[in-house]
Amino acid sequence: MSDLTEHLRSLEQRLFEPNVRTSAAALESLLSPEFREIGASGRLYGYQDVITGLLAEPLDGTTRTLTDFELQLLAPDLALVTYRAIRTVPTGPQVRSLRSSIWRHDADCQWRMVFHQGTLTG
């Protein structure tokens, strides 16, 4: 399972990369069309909301790192991952969060995220 852990960790990390966050094709390859996200505000976002929002983000030097990554296999083709993230903005304080994602191995034999939630931790 360590290979799967590293694979899903790398996919989560890709979603932190500016070149992925600014590419509709890259985002569509990582997110399932059924994707849903519950944001820190408690608001529910759909697939297109998230893609549109990420494509509109300014390239301002923000960096994101993840730590404490854990995988729990829910079924052979379904995985829950949790981790802590730190977002560093050059002109502001760090933002820390606890995050969870559900990844599904789909019919195209590719892992795609179907759900994500981030909770601010201070």
Please write the tens of the pLDDT for every residue from 78-92: 999 999 999 999 988
Residue 90, CB-side half-sphere exposure with 13 Å CA sphere: 5
Q: Is the pLDDT of residue 101 over 70?
A: yes
Q: Is the pLDDT of residue 38 over 90?
A: yes
d(CA 121, CA 54) in angstroms, rounded, equals 22
The domains found in the chain, sorted by start residue, are 2-120 (3.10.450.50)
Query: What is the pTM (predicted TM-score) of this model?
Result: 0.93
Q: What is the average pLDDT across 99-114?
A: 95
Q: Is the pLDDT of residue 26 over 80?
A: yes
What is the pLDDT at residue 73?
97
Q: What is the average pLDDT across 32-52?
A: 95
84 and 104 in contact (C-beta within 8 Å)? Answer: no
